[in-house]
Amino acid sequence: MNLVREYTREIITFIGIGLMCFVYTDFRELVRQQADTAAHTVEVLRSMDSRLQKLENTPTR
């Protein structure tokens, strides 16, 4: 118990560094997923735009 009292700052620092690494990796994965989703959304919107342009350019009967 005396050891914990003596090294409280160091223990808290190491716990904080570990927590910071965990949050960083979790946030990095979140950003990667959002980038993939945004890229997929852009592709869907481009295909919809090209289909709409085709429909607008076809003559009506």
SS3 content of the chain, % helix, strand, coil (to 5): 90, 0, 10
Is this model's pTM higher than 0.85 or not? no
Q: How far is CA 42 from CA 10, 45, 58, in A?
A: 48, 5, 25
CB 11 within 8 A of CB 4: yes
pLDDT at residue 60, rounded to an integer = 65
pLDDT tens by residue, 6-30:
999 999 999 999 999 999 999 999 9
pLDDT tens by residue, 41-52:
999 999 999 999
Report d(CA 44, CA 28) in Å as an integer: 25
Query: Residue 25: what residue type?
Result: T
